[in-house]
């Protein structure tokens, strides 16, 4: 394995402190998610979008910081986001096709 | 290099293809999608013409360019050296844009046609329920109270709205001249409509199941009869009732306690004319319209061969002439015979005792079987000799058929042995006589 | 699009490359480890796998013909009324545990990566064994929660055969659980290596790929938790 | 061609498995694995062709009685499955294996043992799914196995079990290979081989690997559902539980449509190598060729429902999928025109590989055009599930993939075996193939539009289809003769063909710089690449004097001259040269065996031998895990 300089400076990881902050934020969002579930907001039309946004944020945080995609080689971003986009488009298309949402 | 240069013979190929295409024009094509006899099918056909025109254009252009290139730039001794060209942006943009424009010419009418053909059926259309079964078709006209199988009657000039369902696996409903296909999907309902041309007075077409549905997918055919509106009415009115010509009940007493309602009793209540069949009334009048046998075009007459060799179904055809419809009816309707002739556990004959609910029957409705020209998913003519063999051993005639083997001594493919007991030829002849009488 | 990015990175790497031409050690174009590229490609592929499972769950949601249902009360054939079957408090707890395991994993990676760094020596930050074990325990705890959930569902009359909900729910969460199981075994293997020979900075990539897998499994759960448990 | 370099026999690789059969069974050398793929896949191509021939015999006349309905249904299911999964995909894989490392200047793939695993899984899976046909127990649900016909309610026998598990096994093989090649192409390119200098075959293969890793999960999930339904009583496709049959269709085609591009893109890649070589010109519009390939792959994920225009998805969905499908004609058209432009103003010589490449252009276009006709949803309701579709996909599959692959075989044969294939037999093969192909499949356009449904084992007389079916059957006979000529040519030329030099055809890419057949280490010294056609820079400066093939950043041609492409090593072995090579090993084979046994065990569940089923499955799993563990803990080289 070549210990490339190149490979190394691609590894500016977040620090200990950051990790803890990230964990805290993730926990908070989770708490809000569950809390919202038990409030009357649950029956609001905004409930589903709110939850989706919150989980998307969590998703992104884990991927960017814990999976250090934010700091890693561009190649990995491409390897992950490309498939993810195709997957999400597929999911969306299927939801329309099976009448789960409609315009 | 070779002494033989097949390249020289290439023109022969093109001549052959051209001949084939020519031959294609001179002949009869009874299921051609180029014949279009409904409004919706003409929409499709206009689209097809455009596809064909543009497609041929692209084809000729590309192939001509290709052939020109390889001839013009073939390597020749002393010929020019290859020009080292890496690309040409303007050209590449050209051949991106031009196909895109051609596609616009296709896409616009495509989208229009999608919305036209899939619009809601006009109000007042005739509703027909098409129900797929492994491997036969059930057609129901809920507004008219008609249930039939494998033979679809449509009134010329009136929009028909099909509701498509299946009782088992997927099938697909198609009469090429009348319209495109629509699949029959389990746990779903599909719709399709078209209006057969008013000018069609008395025409017959082949219909097919075009979604693979198991062993006898190939044998799941049907006939579509497009007839003038008054003929259709005559047909439908009669089909809604019970059969004319059903035998008058005999003196034989029904088995004790069996809930037998005799055909004649029902007939007597509903259709006095029918009861008179036994005497003199002209049959034509009594039975209502059916597509005349002698006018059937050749292509709707099945040619399926009977099983041969080891699986030949032997039957004494002489018995058919003396088949006794009354005895046949007795066999079917008397509970005492259920073991031998379990027909009514799967089939419904309106007017006879109902052992299964009409919409749950496993087999085709036989109420007016005598008025049908084919049997077994349009696979065979319903002449007495064929019918007799069918009753004797249907799966031997139609692979996988769910109609069981019933003739004594016949090989039953399901249980992989010969039936020890079952209907004998005499009994079958009687049943045939009875079924044929169900006009 | 993947390719365009890679194109650039490749030409970047190009500059570094010339010096390495004549050495017979394993040369890689991008300077990255094979395994890491493979695991990211694998994760991309897993996106499609889980999206297919999740789509199926959502498509079949509300189509079961008999109970139990996830969010609606239901009546059993014998006429008894039952509450919706999903247990949000318990699952919230297990979700939290899994989330924490991700933190532990990232700290384990951090510890391995900084082996030999004095700031990390002899304190908890550099204790890779501890963090690995913590991750494995958290993962196992999550599996414990799932086992509890599954058995209680079965007691309430929901099996994988009961209805569409049961089939799609157990298959989706079961697939996720299987991934967690593989992850726990993988982490335990790393722990065993750390225990027996001690992981060094050179092993970073081994821990890294495992961590990536583990976080991905966590991320999938984030989606499942919202889509399956919270949204009606 | 000059008979310069003699064939160099490569020295047996490693200690344990020196030579003979063992050296093949234990090999991890990408070239040997490629060769194994080639032979196995060719065998299955013949097998699939034989199945097709039986079908054609049955259909030659109305009401034919060559085979029974049941056997016919097994034949078309297995013909489709065999051709797609056991012939074309692995034929492509043969080229991926053999060529990618050579084209990018690498000594092997990134994970050599995973590569061996892929092959063994393929072989065992192929045997698993094929053998039942000899007992009339073969899968019979069609190659796309629509539920609910494939559920236990309607297909109780073992037939579908073989199919479900067979495809699952083959999927694992393809996925493993795909991760391997992605990594290889990203990470093992020789210095200077930027992505935009990669040979077009490698590029198309690269795209295909992404299609594989994104398409296969969808079918994996669909198959898992079916497997669970059949073995564990789940309800994914159970009608009584309210299942929706369209679920299967969507999941299948989300896989199925990208799959057709998986089948064609490698052939496109091969043609893109052949055309420049025999036109003595670089590929026209390299960048556009790359981007159009990417576009085809990308758009390929958004059109799957065009296989479902008759299921009643609703007008909006039909319209969207119709238009999305049409879009694909644009990048594909660009490719066709760029290929023609590649020949334009060149010196086109009609060698056998070139004939097949030109054949692809001519025939694929026809299939593409009928594809566009399908994409028009209302028109497709007349075409779908008729022989018109059968005509479409044989024009793209036979006229496209198979033509391209045959071209590739003739082209790379000298590299693989050090000898040329016979040109005169090749000539016969090509023309019989070309004529037979058209005679077989062109009439199907007619029979389809004249109303003939597909997948029917028999049809009535007097439907107007007789002539066309007879023509198709006669065409098939020509195809068989053609194929037999090919087989003879292939077998004879391996030992008896005229000897080929390193650079058998005067091509421009790296693989032609090394001996034919290549030594096990491929490149004695990893070359430095400065352009797309490094060999031309070196050998034909006159071809490159006016313009450099290097683009976009032009490293100088002089550079390339300075760094020789290939060091003559006089047949020295890797060990003698001090090149570390991976050890031969049987572990991947055992892992593959374990995997297949694990699945096969489930079969006993349907014969009610639960204990036996569990023992076999768990035994298989143990073998798999054990071998995997042994494999991962033993050093590569
Ligand atoms: C190698 C495999 C392959 C390839 C490359 C393609 C390519 C295409 N296919 Fe095909 N297809 C199959 C294999 C393939 N197909 C198979 C196996 C099936 C049947 C599965 C089954 O049911 O069993 C099928 C079925 C199928 C259907 C479903 C038919 C039905 O069941 O009703 C459709 C519908 O849209 C379709 C469309 C297309 C289109 C638009 C393309 C396009 O990519 C074609 C693009 C190419 C060109 C158009 C030619 C070159 C372009 C030009 C020269 C430019 C100018 C042209 C125009 C402006 C038109 N295909
Ligand atoms: C992928 C590629 C591919 C290829 C190359 C072919 C090749 C051929 N196919 Fe095909 N075909 C499919 C893919 C392919 N097919 C698919 C996916 C289906 C759909 C299946 C389904 O509906 O589920 C299908 C369906 C299909 C049908 C429709 C069946 C039906 O719907 O009822 C027919 C009918 O004629 C047919 C014919 C042929 C013929 C004659 C060839 C010929 O080109 C074959 C040529 C090959 C040979 C001639 C080799 C034979 C050689 C020998 C016999 C030598 C003897 C042996 C030894 C020496 C060992 N095919
Ligand atoms: Cu019904 Cu095919
Ligand atoms: Cu497609």
Q: Provide the pLDDT for residue B252.
A: 38
Q: Provide the pLDDT for residue B247.
A: 62
Residue C80 or residue B18, greater confidence: C80
Find out whether the peptide bond into D517 is cis, omega within 30 degrees of 0. Answer: yes
Q: Which of B317-326, C46-55, D493-502, D546-555 has the lowest mean pLDDT?
A: D546-555
Q: Provide the pLDDT for residue D544.
A: 58
* SS3 state of residue B94: helix
Q: Among partner residues D336, D347, D455, which is closest to B82 by beta-carbon distance?
A: D347
Q: Provide the pLDDT for residue B248.
A: 52
| Region of residue D462 (left: phi > 0; alpha: psi -120 to 50; beta: else) | left
Measured between CA atoms, the residue of chain A closest to residue C3 is: A78
Q: Provide the pLDDT for residue B280.
A: 37
For the ranges A57-71, C62-76, D259-273, the one whose mean pLDDT is highest? D259-273
With beta carbons less than 8 A apart as the criterion, state whether B418 and B409 touch: yes
Q: Which of C16-25, C176-185, D25-34, D255-264 has the lowest mean pLDDT?
A: C16-25
Two structure tokens written together for B183: 């699949």
Find out whether the peptide bond into D148 is cis, omega within 30 degrees of 0. Answer: yes
pLDDT over threshold 70, residue B267: no
Angle between helices B10-26 and D466-496 (to 10 degrees): 160
Q: DSSP characters for B322-344? A: T--HHHHHHHHH-GGGTTT-THH
Q: Provide the pLDDT for residue C7.
A: 41
pLDDT band at D183 (very low <50, low <70, confident <90, very high): very high
Q: What is the 3-state secondary structure (H, E, C) of B370-439?
A: HHCCEECCCCEECCHHHHHHHHHHHHHHCCCCCCCECECCCEECCCCEECCCCECHHHHHHHHHHHHHCC
Q: Quick one: what percent of chain C has pLDDT higher than 90?
A: 59
Residue B140 or residue A10, greater confidence: B140
The average pLDDT across A6-23 equals 66
Residue spans of alpha helices (H) in chain A: 5-9, 16-37, 47-61, 74-97
pLDDT over threshold 80, residue A67: yes
pLDDT over threshold 90, residue B364: yes
For the ranges B242-256, D119-133, D559-573, the one whose mean pLDDT is highest? D119-133
Q: Alpha-carbon Rg of chain A, whole angstroms?
A: 18
Query: What is the total residue count of chain B?
Result: 439
Ligand 1 lined by B98 (C-beta under 6 Å): no
Two structure tokens written together for D582: 């991976």
- Nearest CA, atom 31, ligand 2: D455
Q: Quick one: what percent of chain D has pLDDT higher than 70?
A: 92
The average pLDDT across B245-257 equals 46
The per-residue pLDDT for range D288-311, each reduced to its tens digit, is 999 999 999 999 999 999 999 999
How far is B95 from B90, CA to CA, in rounded Å? Answer: 9
pLDDT over threshold 60, residue B282: no
pLDDT over threshold 80, residue B17: no
Ligand 1 lined by D263 (C-beta under 6 Å): yes
- At B155, which helix (H) or strand (E)? strand B151-155
How far is D249 from D222, CA to CA, in rounded Å? Answer: 9
pLDDT over threshold 50, residue B103: yes
Query: What is the total residue count of chain A?
Result: 103
For the ranges A60-69, C213-222, D610-619, the one whose mean pLDDT is highest? C213-222
How far is A58 from A30, CA to CA, in rounded Å? Answer: 8
Q: Which of B75-79, D54-58, D246-250 has the lowest mean pLDDT?
A: B75-79
Q: Provide the pLDDT for residue B70.
A: 94
Q: Alpha-carbon Rg of chain C, whole angstroms?
A: 22
Strand B190-194 relative to strand B160-166, pairing:
antiparallel
How far is C108 from B382, CA to CA, in rounded Å? Answer: 80
State the fold for domain C30-230. Answer: 1.20.120
Q: Do D254 and A82 touch (CB under 8 A)?
A: no
Q: Do B51 and D452 touch (CB under 8 A)?
A: no
The average pLDDT across D359-363 equals 97
Measured between CA atoms, the residue of chain A closest to residue D305 is: A97
pLDDT over threshold 90, residue D547: no
Q: Does A83 touch chain D (CB under 8 A)?
A: yes
pLDDT over threshold 60, residue D368: yes
pLDDT over threshold 90, residue C5: no
* SS3 state of residue D283: coil
* SS3 state of residue B190: strand
Residue ranges of D 106-145 with Cβ closer than 8 A to chain B:
141-142
Two structure tokens written together for D349: 């010589």
Q: Provide the pLDDT for residue D355.
A: 96
Q: Do D234 and C161 touch (CB under 8 A)?
A: yes
Q: Do D317 and A83 touch (CB under 8 A)?
A: no
The average pLDDT across D544-573 equals 51
Q: Provide the pLDDT for residue C232.
A: 76
Q: Do A89 and D302 touch (CB under 8 A)?
A: yes
* Pocket (CB within 6 angstroms of ligand 2): D 46, 49-50, 52-53, 55-56, 76-77, 79-80, 83-84, 88, 142-143, 390, 394, 397-398, 402, 440, 454-455, 472, 476, 479-480, 483-484, 487
pLDDT over threshold 80, residue C4: no
Q: Provide the pLDDT for residue D212.
A: 97
Q: Provide the pLDDT for residue B419.
A: 87
Two structure tokens written together for B265: 């009793």
The average pLDDT across B146-171 equals 95
Q: Provide the pLDDT for residue D568.
A: 60
Angstrom CA distances, B346 to B131, B147, B235, B332, C9, stand at 16, 15, 25, 11, 71
Two structure tokens written together for D552: 């976009």
Q: Provide the pLDDT for residue B339.
A: 84
Q: Do B88 and D341 touch (CB under 8 A)?
A: yes
Q: DSSP characters for B349-366? A: -TTS--SS-GGG-SS---
Q: Which of D140, D458, D146 is nearest to B172 (CA)?
A: D146
Q: Which residue has the tokens 């579930």?
A: A37
The per-residue pLDDT for range B351-360, each reduced to its tens digit, is 888 888 888 8
Two structure tokens written together for C197: 């020979």
Q: Among partner residues A27, A76, A94, which is closest to C99 by beta-carbon distance?
A: A27
pLDDT over threshold 80, residue D395: yes
Q: Point out the residues of D that are catalytic.
A: 79, 108, 143, 173-174, 257, 259, 261, 272, 306-307, 332, 335, 454
pLDDT band at D160 (very low <50, low <70, confident <90, very high): very high
What's the gap in Å between D370 CA and the centre of ligand 2? 19
pLDDT over threshold 80, residue B125: yes
What's the gap in Å between B254 CA and the centre of ligand 1? 64
Ligand 1 lined by D369 (C-beta under 6 Å): yes
pLDDT over threshold 50, residue B264: no
Q: Provide the pLDDT for residue C10.
A: 41
Mean pLDDT score of chain B? 85
Ligand 3 lined by B277 (C-beta under 6 Å): no
What's the gap in Å between A28 CA and the centre of ligand 4? 46
The average pLDDT across B255-278 equals 36
pLDDT band at C213 (very low <50, low <70, confident <90, very high): very high
pLDDT over threshold 50, residue B266: no
Q: Does D210 touch chain A (CB under 8 A)?
A: yes
Residue D5 or residue B330, greater confidence: B330
Residue A59, domain extent: 3-97
What's the gap in Å between D270 CA and the centre of ligand 2? 22
Q: Provide the pLDDT for residue A36.
A: 87
Burial of D475 (0-12, 13-18, 19+ CB in 10 A): buried
Residue B415 or residue C95, greater confidence: C95
Q: Which is the closest atom of ligand 3 to the Cα of B135?
A: 1
Is A31 among the domain residues? yes
Alpha carbon of B256: minimum distance to chain D alpha carbons (Å): 38
How far is D216 from D346, CA to CA, in rounded Å? Answer: 41
The average pLDDT across B274-280 equals 37
Eight-class DSSP state of D8: -
Measured between CA atoms, the residue of chain D closest to residue A79 is: D210
Q: Which of C19-23, C67-71, D468-472, D546-550 has the lowest mean pLDDT?
A: C19-23
Number of independent structural domains in chain A: 1
Chain B to chain D, count of Cβ pairs less than 8 Å apart? 341
Q: What is the 3-state secondary structure (H, E, C) of chain C?
A: CHHHHHHHHHHHHHHHHHHHCCCCCCCCCCCCCHHHHHHHHHHHHHHHHHHHHHHHHHHHCCCCCCCCCCCCCEECCCCCEECCCCCHHHHHHHHHHHHHHHHHHHHHHHHHHCCCCHHHCCCHHHCHHHHHHHHHHHHHHHHHHHHHHHHHHHHCCCCCCCCHHHHHHHHHHHHHHHHHHHHHHHHHHHHHHHHHCCCCHHHHHHHHHHHHHHHHHHHHHHHHHHHHHHCC
Residue B389 or residue C30, greater confidence: B389
Q: Does D439 touch chain B (CB under 8 A)?
A: yes
Whether the predicted interface score ipTM is above 0.95:
no
Is A103 among the domain residues? no
Alpha carbon of D339: minimum distance to chain C alpha carbons (Å): 22
pLDDT over threshold 60, residue D444: yes
What's the gap in Å between D146 CA and the centre of ligand 3? 12
Name every residue whose Cβ is closer than 8 Å to that of residue B264 and which is 6 or more positions away in sequence.
Answer: B246, B247, B248, B249, B275
pTM score: 0.92
pLDDT over threshold 80, residue D425: yes
pLDDT band at D551 (very low <50, low <70, confident <90, very high): very low
pLDDT over threshold 90, residue C8: no
pLDDT over threshold 80, residue B279: no
Chains near C with 3+ CB pairs less than 8 A apart are A, D
Q: Do D195 and C3 touch (CB under 8 A)?
A: yes
Is A32 among the domain residues? yes
Q: Provide the pLDDT for residue B246.
A: 64
Q: Which of B175-179, C26-30, C50-54, D157-161 has the lowest mean pLDDT?
A: C26-30
pLDDT over threshold 80, residue C20: no
Chains near A with 3+ CB pairs less than 8 A apart are C, D
Q: Provide the pLDDT for residue A42.
A: 79
Two structure tokens written together for D33: 């694995």
How far is D155 from D141, CA to CA, in rounded Å? Answer: 8
The average pLDDT across B83-99 equals 90
Is A72 among the domain residues? yes
Mean pLDDT score of chain D? 90
With beta carbons less than 8 A apart as the criterion, state whether D311 and D247 touch: no
pLDDT over threshold 90, residue B226: yes
Q: Provide the pLDDT for residue D322.
A: 96
The average pLDDT across D559-586 equals 65
Q: Provide the pLDDT for residue B26.
A: 43
Name every residue whose Cβ is closer than 8 Å to that of residue B104 and which is 6 or more positions away in sequence.
Answer: none
Q: Provide the pLDDT for residue D3.
A: 35
Q: Which of B26-30, D165-169, D585-589 has the lowest mean pLDDT?
A: B26-30
Q: Provide the pLDDT for residue D569.
A: 62
The average pLDDT across A6-32 equals 75
pLDDT over threshold 90, residue C173: yes
């Amino acid at each position: 394995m070549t210990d490339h300089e190149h490979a190394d400076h691609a590894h500016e990881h977040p620090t200990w402190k950051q990790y803890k902050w990230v964990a805290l934020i993730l926990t908070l969002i989770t708490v809000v998610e569950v809390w919202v579930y038990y409030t009357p907001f649950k029956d609001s039309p905004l409930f589903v979008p709110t939850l989706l946004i919150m989980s998307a944020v969590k998703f992104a945080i884990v991927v960017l910081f814990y999976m250090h995609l934010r700091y890693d080689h561009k190649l990995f971003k491409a390897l992950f986001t490309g498939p993810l986009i195709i997957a999400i488009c597929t999911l969306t298309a299927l939801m329309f096709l099976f009448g789960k949402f409609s315009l | 290099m070779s002494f033989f240069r097949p390249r020289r013979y290439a023109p022969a190929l093109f001549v052959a293809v051209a001949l084939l295409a020519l031959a294609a024009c001179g002949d009869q094509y009874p299921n051609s999608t180029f014949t279009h006899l409904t409004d919706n099918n003409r929409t499709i056909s206009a689209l097809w013409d455009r596809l064909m025109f543009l497609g041929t254009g692209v084809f000729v252009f590309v192939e001509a360019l290709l052939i020109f290139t390889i001839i013009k730039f073939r390597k020749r001794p002393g010929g020019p050296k290859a020009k080292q060209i890496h690309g040409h942006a303007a050209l590449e943009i050209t051949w991106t844009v031009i196909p895109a424009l051609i596609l616009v010419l296709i896409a616009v009418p495509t989208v229009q046609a999608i919305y036209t053909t899939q619009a809601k059926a006009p109000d007042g259309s005739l509703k027909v329920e098409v129900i797929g079964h492994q491997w036969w078709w059930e057609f129901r006209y809920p507004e008219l109270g008609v249930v039939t199988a494998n033979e679809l009657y449509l009134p010329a000039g009136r929009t028909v709205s099909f509701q498509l369902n299946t009782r088992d696996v997927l099938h697909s409903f198609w009469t090429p001249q009348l319209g495109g296909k629509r699949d029959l999907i389990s746990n779903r309902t599909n719709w399709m409509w078209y209006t057969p041309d008013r000018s069609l007075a008395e025409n017959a077409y082949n219909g097919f199941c075009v979604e693979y549905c198991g062993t006898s997918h190939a044998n799941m055919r049907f006939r579509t009869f497009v007839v003038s509106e008054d003929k259709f009415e005559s047909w439908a009115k009669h089909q809604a009732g019970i059969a004319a010509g059903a035998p008058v009940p005999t003196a034989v007493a029904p088995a004790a306690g069996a809930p037998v309602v005799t055909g004649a009793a029902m007939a007597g209540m509903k259709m006095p004319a029918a009861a008179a069949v036994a005497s003199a009334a002209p049959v034509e009048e009594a039975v209502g319209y059916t597509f005349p046998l002698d006018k059937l075009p050749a292509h709707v007459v099945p040619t399926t061969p009977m099983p041969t060799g080891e699986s030949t179904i032997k039957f004494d055809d002489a018995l058919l002439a003396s088949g006794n419809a009354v005895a046949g009816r007795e066999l079917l309707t008397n509970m005492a015979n259920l073991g031998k002739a379990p027909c009514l556990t799967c089939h419904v004959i309106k007017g006879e005792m109902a052992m299964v609910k009409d919409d749950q029957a496993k087999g085709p409705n036989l109420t007016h079987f005598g008025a049908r020209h084919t049997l077994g998913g349009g696979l065979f003519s319903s002449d007495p000799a064929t019918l007799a063999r069918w009753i004797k051993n249907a799966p031997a005639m139609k692979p996988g058929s769910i109609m069981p083997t019933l003739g004594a001594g016949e090989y039953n493919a399901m249980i992989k042995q010969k039936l020890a007991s079952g209907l004998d030829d005499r009994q079958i002849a009687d049943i045939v006589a009875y079924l044929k009488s169900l006009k | 699009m993947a390719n365009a990015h890679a194109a650039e990175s490749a030409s970047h790497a190009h500059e570094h490359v010339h010096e390495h031409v004549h050495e017979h050690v394993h040369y890689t174009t991008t300077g990255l480890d094979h395994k890491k590229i493979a695991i990211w490609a694998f994760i991309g592929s897993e996106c499609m796998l889980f999206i297919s499972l999740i789509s199926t769950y959502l498509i079949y949601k509300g189509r079961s013909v008999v109970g139990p249902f996830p969010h609606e009360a239901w009546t059993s054939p014998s006429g008894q009324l039952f509450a919706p079957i999903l247990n949000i408090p318990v699952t919230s707890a297990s979700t939290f545990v899994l989330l924490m395991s991700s933190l532990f994993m990232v700290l384990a990676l951090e510890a391995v990566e900084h082996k030999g760094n004095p700031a990390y020596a002899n304190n908890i930050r550099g204790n890779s064994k501890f963090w690995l074990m913590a991750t494995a325990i958290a993962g196992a705890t999550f599996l414990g929660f799932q086992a509890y959930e599954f058995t209680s569902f079965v007691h309430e009359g929901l099996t994988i055969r009961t209805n569409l909900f049961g089939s799609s729910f157990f298959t989706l969460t079961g697939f996720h659980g299987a991934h967690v199981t593989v992850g726990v075994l993988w982490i335990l293997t790393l722990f065993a290596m750390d225990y027996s020979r001690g992981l060094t900075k050179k092993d970073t990539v081994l821990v890294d790929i495992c961590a990536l897998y583990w976080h991905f499994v966590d991320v999938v759960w984030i989606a499942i938790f919202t889509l399956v448990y919270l949204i009606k | 061609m000059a008979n310069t370099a003699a064939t160099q026999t490569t020295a047996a690789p490693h200690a344990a498995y020196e030579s003979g059969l063992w050296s093949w069974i234990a090999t991890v050398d990408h070239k040997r694995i490629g060769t194994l793929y080639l032979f196995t896949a060719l065998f299955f191509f013949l097998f699939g062709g034989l199945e097709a021939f039986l079908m054609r015999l049955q259909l030659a006349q109305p009401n034919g009685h060559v085979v029974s309905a049941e056997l016919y249904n097994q034949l078309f299911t297995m013909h489709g499955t065999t051709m797609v999964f056991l012939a074309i995909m692995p034929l492509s894989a043969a080229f991926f294996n053999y060529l990618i490392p050579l084209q990018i200047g690498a000594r092997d793939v990134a994970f050599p043992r995973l590569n061996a695993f892929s092959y063994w899984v393929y072989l065992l899976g192929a045997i698993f799914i094929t053998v039942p046909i000899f007992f009339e127990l073969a899968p019979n649900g069609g190659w796309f196995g629509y539920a609910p016909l494939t559920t236990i309610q309607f297909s109780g026998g073992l037939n579908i079990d073989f199919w479900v598990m067979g495809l699952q096994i083959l999927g694992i093989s393809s996925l493993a290979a795909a991760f391997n090649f992605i990594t290889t192409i990203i990470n093992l390119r020789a210095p200077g081989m930027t992505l935009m200098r990669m040979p077009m075959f490698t590029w198309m293969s690269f795209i295909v690997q992404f299609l594989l890793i994104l398409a296969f999960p969808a079918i994996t999930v669909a198959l898992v559902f079916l497997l669970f339904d059949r073995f564990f009583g789940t309800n994914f496709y159970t009608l009584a539980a309210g299942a929706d049959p369209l679920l299967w269709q969507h999941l299948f085609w989300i896989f199925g449509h990208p799959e057709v591009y998986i089948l064609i893109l490698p052939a496109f890649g091969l043609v893109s190598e052949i055309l420049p070589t025999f036109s003595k010109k670089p590929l026209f519009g390299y960048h556009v060729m790359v981007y159009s390939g990417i576009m085809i792959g990308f758009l390929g994920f958004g059109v799957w429902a065009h296989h479902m225009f008759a299921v009643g998805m609703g007008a909006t969905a039909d319209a969207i999928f119709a238009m999305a499908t049409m879009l694909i004609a644009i990048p594909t058209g660009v490719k066709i025109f760029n290929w023609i432009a590649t020949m334009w103003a060149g010196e086109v010589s009609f060698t056998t590989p070139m004939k097949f490449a030109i054949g692809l252009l001519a025939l694929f276009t026809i299939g593409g055009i009928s594809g566009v006709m399908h994409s028009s949803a209302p028109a497709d309701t007349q075409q779908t599930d008729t022989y018109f579709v059968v005509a479409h996909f044989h024009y793209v599959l036979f006229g496209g993939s198979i033509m391209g692959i045959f071209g590739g075989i003739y082209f790379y044969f000298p590299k693989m075996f050090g000898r040329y294939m016979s040109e005169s037999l090749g000539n016969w093969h090509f023309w019989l193939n070309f004529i037979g192909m058209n005679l077989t499949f062109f009439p199907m356009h007619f029979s389809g539009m004249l109303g003939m449904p597909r997948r029917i084992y028999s049809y009535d007389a007097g439907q107007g289809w007789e002539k066309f079916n007879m023509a198709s059957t006669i065409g098939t006979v020509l195809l068989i003769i053609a194929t037999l000529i090919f087989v003879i040519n292939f077998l004879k030329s391996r030992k008896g063909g005229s000897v080929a030099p390193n650079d058998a055809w005067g091509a421009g890419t790296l693989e032609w710089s090394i001996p034919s057949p290549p030594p096990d280490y491929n490149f004695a010294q990893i070359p430095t690449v400065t352009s797309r056609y490094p060999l031309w820079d070196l050998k034909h400066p006159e071809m490159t004097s006016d313009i450099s093939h290097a683009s976009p950043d032009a490293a100088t041609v002089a550079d390339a001259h300075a760094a020789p492409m290939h060091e003559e090593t006089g047949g020295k072995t890797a060990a003698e040269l001090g090149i570390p090579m991976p050890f031969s090993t049987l572990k991947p084979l055992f892992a593959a065996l374990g995997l297949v046994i694990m699945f096969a065990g489930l079969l006993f569940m349907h014969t009610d031998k639960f204990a036996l089923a569990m023992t076999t499955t768990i035994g298989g799993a143990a073998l798999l895990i054990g071998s995997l563990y042994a494999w991962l803990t033993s050093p590569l080289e």
